[in-house]
Amino acid sequence: MTADAAATRLVERGWGGALSLTLRLILLLGFVLIVLQSALVVHARPQDLITGIYGMTDIIRRAMPPDFSEINKIWWPTLETVDIAIFGTVGGVIMAVPLAVLAADNVTPSRALYYAARGLIGLARSVPDLVWALLFVTAVGLGPFPGALALAVHSVGMLGRLFAETIEHMEMAPIDALSLTGARRLQVFTHGVIPSVLPSLTGITLYRLDENIRSSLVLGFVGAGGIGFELLSAMNLFQYRLVSLYLIVTFVLVLAAERLSALVRTRLA
Amino acid sequence: MLRVCNLTMRYPNGKLALAGFDLTVKTGELVVVLGGNGSGKTTLLRCVTRMLDPSGGEIWLGDINLAGLSGERLRQARLPLAMVWQQANLVRRRSVLANVASGALGRHGGVWTSLGGLPAEELRAAYGYLDEVGLAALAGQRAGTLSGGQAQRVAIARALAQRPQVLLADEPVASLDHEAADDIMRLLRRLAGEENLAVLCVLHQVELAYSYADRVVGLRDGRTVFDLPCSELPRDAVRQLYLSEAA
């Protein structure tokens, strides 16, 4: 077959041919059907958005201008929100590191521990942080502590998995070389494994801290303290100017955490 | 001194990589093992270090047979045995000095070293070893920034920090240019003589073997083809060693 004939055949069988047009129509129809069924299931009513414009405009009007006279009341909940995230992240790292070592295929001391660690990491990840928060509120009462605990446990899911993957993908030759010098298992870990993976682990941790700051805002809605809790209280009391102030602080906080985390991760790369 | 007696290694797939191999490397001697691909050179080193468990035979390091040991007893017995790899295998994000000093970890079992610290006296000694391989000026630099030749010298300094009696080298110049390869072989030659090390080096470069070895061992299909002092080694015997591989 000449090159021209082969090219023609490929074009005829490819996306430009009649068959591909039918296939494209089927795919398009399938996509439309999926979107339509999702709209039905969520009871989507676009007309409500139009009739609701008045209500939304009214809330925005009542939320303006933000009540900056209350700015002094906001520092403590803000600090609480940040500290929930810090405690949750540090707690998560403390639990995730040993679990990740057990759950990394190349360094785990036994298969039984490998599967146990993978199971715990999976459990921590599969239960949403809001559910963990509700469980901890029931256990230790309202306030920032259950929120911090919830973030710590939920963070283990993501940190444990990514830490384990980082360890699994690291270069093993320097580790073998260090083992052969006579270094003990723990020394090989602290002198070989940790220095090799520390930059990646730090990057992942900072990313998680950024995520946890956002999550800690939401956790306040279920009684776990911080800005989220104050925001919900202000909404319940119809103090919309205070609500807008909290939203501004939230926006600044999330943006600052995101930028700081991205900056440090870039430096580490 | 290193003595290997009747060393046999059969892989689980049935391949016989070493078939009753015998070898002695005396203190102060540099022995080069030559052989084609798949001749059993790397398997030999892996068995001697017990990274692989040989199917049979003995590996005498002084008066201890490594072949019969495992666990902590093997770790202790293996301390006088250092290895230099084809790639330097340094921890790239640690300093050159820390990499060298980590060669001494086997002698220190305390909390400080378990937490990632290095004893001050070992850091001082490591500086001395770096000086010995001509790289003291790079002590503070990250290992990942070194050239191939520099990294291999640092790996040798790390091996020296182990205070070995036997030094194994698995194609230590394979990834280096001619000049750097000569430097490394000269260094190994000097260490064998001055530090009284028994050096066993696997090489592919025949000319380097002629230039630096005391004795050359030819290996084919896991068996010794020749074991001769360099001065008595006929060129033809070496050529035959590689011709049989090509055939």
A170 touches chain B (CB under 8 A): no
Amino acid A6: pLDDT:
64
**Smallest CA–CA separation between A165 and chain B, in Å?**
19
B89-109 residues labelled b (16+ CB within 10 A) or e (exposed): bbbbbbbbbbbbbbbbbbbbe
Identity of residue A31: F
Amino acid B245: pLDDT:
56
Strand B198-202 relative to strand B223-229: parallel, antiparallel, unpaired?
unpaired
Rounded CA separation B154/B62 (Å)? 26
A198 touches chain B (CB under 8 A): yes
**Smallest CA–CA separation between B145 and chain A, in Å?**
14
**Smallest CA–CA separation between A92 and chain B, in Å?**
21
Q: Which of A171, A181, A268 has the most B C-beta neighbours within 10 Å, making it the best mutation to test the interface with B?
A: A181
* Chain A residues within 8 A of B105 when measuring between CB atoms: 178, 181-184, 187, 191
Which residue of A171, A176, A190 is in closest CB contact with B116?
A190
Task: List C-alpha distances in Å: A27 to A19, A33, A36, A157.
Answer: 12, 10, 14, 36
Task: List C-alpha distances in Å: A267 to A195, A260, B85.
Answer: 16, 11, 32
Amino acid A71: pLDDT:
78
**A191/B91 touch (CB, cutoff 8 Å), yes or no:** yes
Q: CA angle A165-A170-A176, nearest 5°?
A: 130
**What is the tens place of the pLDDT at every residue in A243-265?**
888 888 888 888 888 888 788 77
What DSSP state is assigned to residue B39? S
Kindly tell me if the per-residue pLDDT of A17 is higher than 60.
no
Identity of residue A112: A
pLDDT in tens, chain B (247 residues): 899 999 999 999 988 999 988 999 999 999 999 988 888 898 999 999 999 999 999 999 988 999 888 888 999 999 999 999 988 899 998 999 999 999 999 999 888 889 888 989 999 999 999 998 888 999 999 999 999 889 999 999 999 899 999 999 998 888 788 888 898 899 899 889 888 899 999 998 889 999 999 999 999 888 999 999 988 888 888 888 887 555 5
Kindly tell me if the per-residue pLDDT of A16 is higher than 60.
no
Closest A-chain CA to B144: A196
Burial class (CB in 10 A: 0-12, 13-18, 19+), A113: middle
Amino acid A12: pLDDT:
60
Of A24-33, A110-119, B232-241, least confident by mean pLDDT is B232-241
ipTM of this model? 0.87
Helix intervals (H) in chain B: 41-48, 71-77, 96-101, 111-114, 120-132, 148-161, 178-194, 206-212, 235-246
Q: Which domains does chain B have, with CATH numbers?
A: 1-80+165-247 (3.40.50.300), 88-163 (no CATH)
User: Dihedrals φ, ψ of B195, to 5°?
Assistant: -95, 5
Amino acid B233: pLDDT:
85
Which residue of B49, B87, B105 is in closest CB contact with A191?
B105
* Chain A residues within 8 A of B161 when measuring between CB atoms: 181
B246 touches chain A (CB under 8 A): no
**What is the tens place of the pLDDT at every residue in A172-212?**
899 999 999 999 988 998 999 888 888 888 888 988 888 88
Amino acid A8: pLDDT:
65
Kindly tell me if the per-residue pLDDT of A23 is higher than 90.
no
